[in-house]
C-alpha cells in the first residue's frame, strides 16, 4: 500500500466494517473522531493520530491535529495521552527532548497530558509517537444532509506551507526573499484552532478537520460518511499566495496537502456563517453545496471533473511526512 492514510476502499473494507456496531457509539460527522455516550455523564469524544511530521515541529502539528479533531466534534478538550515507541539505540536525551516538546505544546494550548506509555522496541527504526485526544461535548454531532452549503475556513494548505518554508528554507532562499520565507513560516501559528467552533455551533454545522490529504481528502471523507454528493467551484477554495508559490516551486498539488488549521463545514446558510466568522476575524468562503446525488462535481470555469478517492498527501513526496 502507498504511504499515508490507508486507501479509503481498504479502510472501509478492512477497518470500518469489522468494528461497526458498538452499542454506545454515536454517528460522527466527518469521521475525525469516535463519539460515544456515557449516559448521564454526557457525550465523550476521542481521537488518535500518529505524529508523522518530520523535523522539530512534529509534536506541535500532532497535538493541534488532535485538538482540531476534537473541536470538529463540538468537544472541549479534556487532555492528551501519548504512546512513544523508541528504537533500541535511542539516547535518553532524545526521549527527554520529545517529552519537553510535548509538554510545552500542550501547556501553550491549555490542555493537560493525562498519561501515556513509552516502550523501546526493535520493531521501529525511528521514534514513533501516537497521540490520543479526549474531549467532552454537550450534544451529539450534527448529521450531514443534502442541499447544505460547504464552507472552508481560513485557507487550505496552512500546515503544509509552514512546513515547506521551515524545513526547505535554504532551498527556497535561492529564489525567494527572506521576508517571503519568514512570512510563510509564520503561518504555523494559524494551525491553532478552536475559536471558530462556537460560532459554527450556532449554525448547527457539520464540521470536518482538513488535515492529511488536504481539502480533496476532507471533501471525500465528509461526503462518504453520509453517502452524499457535491457541486463545488475549485476557484472558490481559499488559498494563500504563499501556498501557491511554494507548491509550484516544489511541483506539489496544494489541494492534496496537509491543511491542519482549516475546517470544512456544512451548514444551511453558508453566507451567514461566513459573515459571523468574519466578525470574529476568521476568514471563510462558501465553495459549493452538498447534493443528494452521488456525483461529486468539481467545476473550474468551463471545466467539469469529479472528485477522486483521497490520494497520498503531497508532503510525502518531499520527505516532510513519513
Whether 43 is covered by a domain: the verdict is yes
| Structural domains of the chain, count | 2
State whether 155 and 253 are in the same domain. yes
- Cell numbers placing 162: 509552514
State whether 304 and 163 are in the same domain. yes
Task: Return the CATH number at 290.
Answer: 3.90.650.10
State whether 111 and 60 are in the same domain. yes
Q: Where are the alpha helices (DSSP H) in the chain?
A: 8-11, 17-19, 58-72, 92-109, 158-167, 169-172, 178-185, 195-201, 214-226, 241-250, 270-279
Give the residue numbers spanning the domain of 245: 149-313
Last residue of a domain, one of 114, 137, 160: 137
State whether 131 and 238 are in the same domain. no
Q: What is residue 139's predicted lDDT score, i.e. its pLDDT?
A: 86
Residues 223, 289 contacting (CB under 8 angstroms): no
Which one, of 201, 215, 213, lies nearest residue 72 by Cα?
Answer: 201
State whether 110 and 228 are in the same domain. no
Residues 94, 59 contacting (CB under 8 angstroms): no
pLDDT tens for residues 5-24?
A: 877 778 778 776 776 655 55
Q: What is residue 29's predicted lDDT score, i.e. its pLDDT?
A: 45
Whether 191 is covered by a domain: the verdict is yes
Whether 5 is covered by a domain: the verdict is no
The confidence band for 262, taking pLDDT boundaries of 50, 70 and 90, is: very high
Q: What is residue 13's predicted lDDT score, i.e. its pLDDT?
A: 80
The arithmetic mean of pLDDT across residues 162-189, rounded, is 97
> What residues contact 303, with CB distance under 8 A and at least 6 apart?
none
User: CA 114, CA 134: separation in Å to the nearest integer?
Assistant: 9
State whether 111 and 212 are in the same domain. no
The four Cα atoms 185, 191, 195, 198 give a dihedral, to 10 degrees, of 150
User: CA 129, CA 51: separation in Å to the nearest integer?
Assistant: 5
User: CA 72, CA 76: separation in Å to the nearest integer?
Assistant: 10
State whether 204 and 270 are in the same domain. yes
Please give the angle made by the CA atoms of 290, 18 and 209, to the nearest 5 degrees. Answer: 35
Task: Return the CATH number at 81.
Answer: 3.30.1330.10
Last residue of a domain, one of 85, 115, 137: 137
Whether 227 is covered by a domain: the verdict is yes
Q: What is residue 36's predicted lDDT score, i.e. its pLDDT?
A: 82
Portion of the chain with pLDDT greater than 70, in percent: 95
Amino acid at each position: 500500500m502507498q504511504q499515508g492514510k490507508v486507501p479509503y476502499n481498504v479502510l472501509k473494507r478492512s477497518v470500518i466494517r469489522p468494528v461497526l456496531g458498538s452499542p454506545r457509539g454515536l454517528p460522527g460527522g466527518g469521521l475525525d473522531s469516535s463519539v460515544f455516550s456515557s449516559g448521564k455523564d454526557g457525550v465523550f469524544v476521542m481521537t488518535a493520530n500518529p505524529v508523522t511530521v518530520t523535523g522539530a515541529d512534529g509534536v506541535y502539528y500532532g497535538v493541534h491535529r488532535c485538538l482540531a479533531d476534537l473541536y470538529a466534534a463540538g468537544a472541549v478538550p479534556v487532555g492528551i495521552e501519548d504512546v512513544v515507541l523508541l528504537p533500541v539505540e535511542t539516547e535518553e536525551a532524545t526521549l527527554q527532548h520529545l517529552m519537553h516538546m510535548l509538554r510545552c505544546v500542550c501547556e501553550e494550548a491549555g490542555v493537560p497530558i493525562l498519561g501515556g506509555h513509552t516502550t523501546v522496541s526493535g520493531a521501529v527504526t525511528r521514534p514513533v509517537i501516537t497521540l490520543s485526544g479526549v474531549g467532552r461535548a454537550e450534544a451529539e454531532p450534527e448529521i450531514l444532509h443534502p442541499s447544505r452549503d460547504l464552507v472552508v475556513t481560513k485557507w487550505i494548505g496552512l500546515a503544509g506551507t509552514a512546513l515547506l518554508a521551515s524545513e526547505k528554507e535554504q532551498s527556497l532562499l535561492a529564489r525567494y526573499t527572506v521576508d517571503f520565507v519568514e512570512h510563510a513560516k509564520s503561518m504555523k501559528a494559524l494551525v491553532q484552532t478552536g475559536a471558530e467552533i462556537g460560532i459554527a455551533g450556532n449554525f448547527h454545522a457539520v464540521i470536518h478537520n482538513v488535515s492529511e490529504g488536504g481539502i480533496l481528502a476532507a471533501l471525500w471523507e465528509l461526503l462518504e460518511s453520509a453517502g452524499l454528493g457535491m457541486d463545488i467551484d475549485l476557484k472558490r477554495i481559499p488559498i494563500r499566495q504563499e501556498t501557491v508559490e511554494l507548491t509550484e516551486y516544489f511541483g506539489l498539488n496544494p489541494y492534496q496537502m496537509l491543511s491542519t488549521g482549516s475546517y470544512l463545514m456544512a451548514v444551511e446558510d453558508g453566507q451567514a456563517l461566513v459573515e459571523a466568522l468574519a466578525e470574529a476575524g476568521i476568514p471563510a468562503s462558501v465553495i459549493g453545496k452538498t447534493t443528494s446525488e452521488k456525483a461529486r462535481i468539481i467545476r473550474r470555469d468551463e471545466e467539469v471533473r469529479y472528485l477522486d478517492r483521497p490520494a497520498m498527501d503531497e508532503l510525502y513526496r518531499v520527505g516532510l511526512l513519513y
